[in-house]
Structure 1
Amino acid sequence: MSTLRFALRSDKVDKSGKCPIELIYQIAGQRKKIFLEKDGKLIKLNYINWSIETQTAVYVAYPKAKKLLYANIEFANILQSRGIQGIAILESEADGINSVIAGTRLQIANIEKLFELNKQKYSDEDVINKFKEAKTGVTKKTEHRELLFDFMDKYITDHEPRRAKGSLSVYKSVKTHLQNYQNSTGDKVRFESINKAFFERFQSFLISDGKLNNTTIAKVLSTLKTFLSYAEENDILVNGNYRKFQIKREKLEVIALTNDEFTALLEKDFTENKKFDRVRDIFCFSCATGLRVSDLIQLKREHIKKDEIKLTVKKTKTELIIPLNKISAGILDKYKDQAKPLPMISSPKLNEYIKEACEAAGIDDQIEIVRFRGANRETTIYPKYKLIRIHTGRKTFVTLSLEKGMSAEQVMAITGHSDYSSFKRYVDITKKLSKVVMAKAWGEVNHLKAV
């Protein structure tokens, strides 16, 4: 069991009458002492501004400070022999010193925790050396990686066997942005320093220096919050003030095929182009089942049980049952003599060829994409086929299923969506939904003729 204390070294009084604060770390009967610093300079106080009980700096108003300074005869003699008036610190200075003390406690505790997570034994010297390295930014052999970055590396390594590469790449990207921020601003990125104010500074950096739009920035900030929450679950001490920062998310366009576009692609004759024919079938199968590309890739004959698909989703590790329909069953029947249910190819090639196949099918409506970079609005117009990717198939399944009258709950059960708040955007953009539901419940209505 370790102990951490702070004490004022009154035997080290300087010419101004102030004494340095000493950090005393003890574990397994061994003790290490170092002076506390801020911005490379020793933190010093008059003895009247130090509380032995709370081990913190305290503010004392000037009249009282002057009286207290000279109440200690021995100390007063030292001051007088040096011609010192002994001016006490300001209230803001006391707050700043206490922030350093609190941050140091957090940092020492987190250094211990990282040793424990890595199942490493550690001594008083190991902990203090790690603490010093974080202050100086270097080790004896190589550049030091801050505790937070060490923990991020450990998170990525520990989760590699259980997580998809895409999801972990987001954490690697966040780490890179944080390192760029630290290198550019000199603002040390540590668990104890990531508070609401840090999030605001980091967000501004991502806008100006990171050259990211607001949508990407929201993803980075959200991932960082998720990581901090995970660190807390692993007993890492973080600055809980970060939760006060509210992430503003902009409403994104949902790119999905309309029913007419889907039919045009499905019925397009690609007899002379086998590449487009196979890619069209893969994409339309996703449109008819809602499967992600990761699950299209893992799909095997064993997953197809009579009139349904039953598999464990690669991303969420949950079991999913998807009823086959006329279109999905027809595509499977087309490739029934092959080893795999679908003629899958690599995702990059799949995305490239889907665009070309959709262009050939005449899916070329002009789509306006609006993004914000800070307060600046940026608009770009694309022909629709250029915006289509394999994941558009899943979005198409959701929007068309809702338009055909399926309830949100029924669609979510098939796609595996567990969070209605993220699913709701599909309901919002499906303009035909209310008419379809009304007609299904109350019957079709003939168009009224003007009198």
Structure 2
Amino acid sequence: MTLNYYPDKPNSESDTAIYLFLRIGKETIKIKTGQYINPKHWNTKPDKNGNHVKRSYTGSPEFNVWLDNYKKDIHQLYNKLTQGNVAISVKELREAINSHLKKKEPTAVIGFFEHFLDYIQITSGERSKSTITKYKVLYKHLETFSRDQPYKLSFEAIDMRFFDLFKNYLMQQLKHTDNTLWKDFSILKTFMGWALDRGLHQNLTYKKFKAPQKDIEIIYLTEKELMAFYHAALPLGSKLDKVRDVFCFGCFTGQRYSDIANLKRNDIKGDRWTLRTVKTDKSYFVPLNRFAQAILNKYKDALRPLPVMSNQKTNDYLKELGKLLGIDEPTSLTKRRGNEKLTNTQPKFEFISTHTARRTFITLSLEKGMRPEVVMRISGHSNYSTFKKYIKISEKVAEVEMNNIWQMAEPKQEENQ
């Protein structure tokens, strides 16, 4: 009796089933193992250590051990069935093997991807739609990575080799920038922490993952540009008129577009807006200045407090309005992908979006002398590290203002004594 493994389709360019062939004389029993592999990772003849799976396959040691144990199990069964030289037909042997394997079939074990889907579903009621979308996108990236590498993902396989391979995949194949990469691994680490708390694994390697994060450049409107938006003579009720009002409301309150879209009339009490944020689900009040109140008053008889459109349409119309108002100063945004510097230079209106409103409020408030802790209180920032990028911009503006003001006269030169 001999036992040998063979791939079902040895010339396939994709994964194919692995079968164990049991030969007794001229008779052969083909046993399905339930395992699959790409033939490029398969040794037709076992190597000197008796391994079929090449080292190029991630998880090859574990896979080879599994194949060895599976073969030993069948061999032991055969010895048991033929103990004492008991004669057994091929048909009886096949039935005995099938019955044995059926009994040994493990209860379906939920794997890494199934747990990730559970995580997305469980947290969907606690996270914003945009955050859940990011979770789903990362899930797809992990799925594609696992298939293309190939890399058999499990909680135990989230090691430093995985980190290096996945980081390279995101940067080289998907062209992710450093900051996008940082967000990807932040989500993955959050999921791994969630799974650790629930006893799904004891692997702490993920805590060592460190992806680069660069300070992003902030595009905001100057006070002159903001007032150009606010005072622009636009046809009443037109798409640009509505978009302008919603955008300016964001510039005067510092709130996220998702929260402005959820604004209800009973959230407004005089000059206060009681807000429960979509992103953090935290409640606080936002003071409404005279500009914000004037915009709300414009729509006091409308069905909704503000004529909010979809995010995408709003972004398109904002660029159209910015161009119409001549906000076209050449502006550059620079991102990094590893050692690669990516600079995008366009007229400023091309960079105006719903995010610009919140950034404009924070930056102009700091420039006008509002204390950082007060700005954070209004904007809802609880983490100073995410807020400090605005401080840097304000410092740059301070330098420019200092030079502009104090260059009115040449400094007096000391006379030589």
Q: Indicate whether the TM-score tops 0.5.
A: yes
Q: Match for residue 11 of structure 2?
A: none
Structure 1 position 282, deviation (Å) = 0.5
Partner of 1:295: 259
What SS does the aligned partner of 1:379 have? strand
Given the alignment of the two structures, is residue 373 of structure 1 paired with residue 337 of structure 2, yes or no?
Answer: yes
Tell me the alpha carbon deviations over residues 302-356 of structure 1, each in whole angstroms, 9 at most, x when there is no partner: 1111111112112111112111112101111111221221111222211111111
One-letter identity of the residue aligned with 2:333: I
Q: 1:37 to 1:334 in 2, by over 3 A?
A: closer
Alpha carbons of structure 1 residues 271 and 202: separation in structure 2 relative to 1, 3 Å:
same
**Residue matched to 1:231:** 195
**1:130 aligns with one of 95, 100, 108:** 108
Whether 2:296 is the aligned partner of 1:332: answer yes
Structure 2 distance, partners of 1:239, 1:361, is 56
Deviation at 1:130, TM superposition (A): 3.4
Of 214, 221, 234, the residue aligned with 2:185 is 221
Q: Find out whether 1:38 has 2:64 as its counterpart.
A: yes
Q: Residue by residue, what CA displacement relative to the aligned partner does 1:146-182 show, whole Å, maximum 9, x if unpaired?
A: 7111011111112223322210111111111111111
Q: Cα distance 1:301–1:351, how it changes in 2: closer, same or farther (>3 A)?
A: same
Amino acid at match of 2:216: L
Q: Which amino acid aligns with 1:331?
A: I
Question: What CA distance in whole angstroms lies between the structure 1 residues aligned with 2:132 and 2:255?
Answer: 21
Q: In the alignment, residue 393 of structure 1 is paired with which amino acid?
A: A
The CA distance in 2 between the partners of 1:408 and 1:285, in whole Å, is: 21
Aligned match of 1:394? 358
Residues 289 and 397 in structure 1, CA contact (< 8 A), matched pair in contact too: yes
Alignment correspondent of 1:347:
311
- Deviation, 1:375, is 2.0
| TM-score after normalising by structure 1 | 0.66
Write the distance in 1 (CA, Å) between the matches of 2:398 and 2:279: 32
Among 209, 216, 224, which residue is 1:252 paired with?
216
| Partner residue in 1 for 2:42 | none
Identify if the C-alpha distance between structure 1 residues 433 and 321 changes in structure 2 by more than 3 Å, giving closer, same or farther. Answer: farther
| 1:17-416 alignment, distance < 5 Å | 38=64, 41-42=67-68, 128-130=106-108, 147-271=111-235, 274-416=238-380
Question: Corresponding residue for 1:112?
Answer: none
| C-alpha distance in 1 between matches for 2:383 and 2:372 | 11
**1: CA distance, partners of 2:275 / 2:184:** 31
Q: Distance in 2 between matches of 1:431 and 1:328?
A: 27
Q: Which residue of 2 aligns with 1:421?
A: 385
Separation in 2, partners of 1:43, 1:379: 55
Report SS of the residue matched to 1:372: strand
Matched-pair contact (CA < 8 Å) for 2:145–2:151: yes
The alignment partner of 1:42 has SS state of helix
Alignment CA distance shift 1:186-1:238 (3 Å):
farther
Displacement after TM superposition at 1:212 (Å): 2.1
Check whether the contact 1:311–1:319 (CA below 8 A) recurs between aligned residues. yes
Name the counterpart of 1:449.
409
Say how many residue pairs are matched.
318
Paired AA for residue 108 in structure 2: K
Deviation for aligned residue 1:296: 1.0
1:163–1:43: structure 2 CA closer, same or farther, 3 Å change rule?
same
Distance 1:130 1:273 in 2: 59
Greater shift, 249-258 or 158-167, is seen at: 158-167
> What is the alpha-carbon distance in structure 1 between the residues aligned to residue 278 and residue 185 of structure 2?
25
Deviations 1:47-68 (A, max 9, x none): xxxxxxxxxxxxxxxxxxxxxx
CA-based RMSD of the aligned residues comes to: 2.7
Classify 1:341/1:436 alpha carbon distance in 2 versus 1 (closer, same or farther; 3 Å): farther
User: For the Cα contact (< 8 Å) 1:404–1:436, is it kept in 2?
Assistant: no
Separation in 2 of the partners of 1:329 and 1:266?
Answer: 13
What SS is found at the alignment partner of 2:354? coil
Going from structure 1 to structure 2, the CA distance change for 1:125 and 1:403 (only over 3 Å counts) comes to farther
Matched AA of 2:326: G
Q: Is the 8 A contact 2:185 2:209 kept in 1?
A: no
* Structure 1 residues 437 and 401: CA distance shift in structure 2, 3 A: farther
Partner of 1:21 in structure 2? Answer: none
CA shift, 1:220, in A, is 0.9
Aligned residues of 2:127 and 2:279 also touching (Cα < 8 A): yes
Shift of 1:298: 1.1
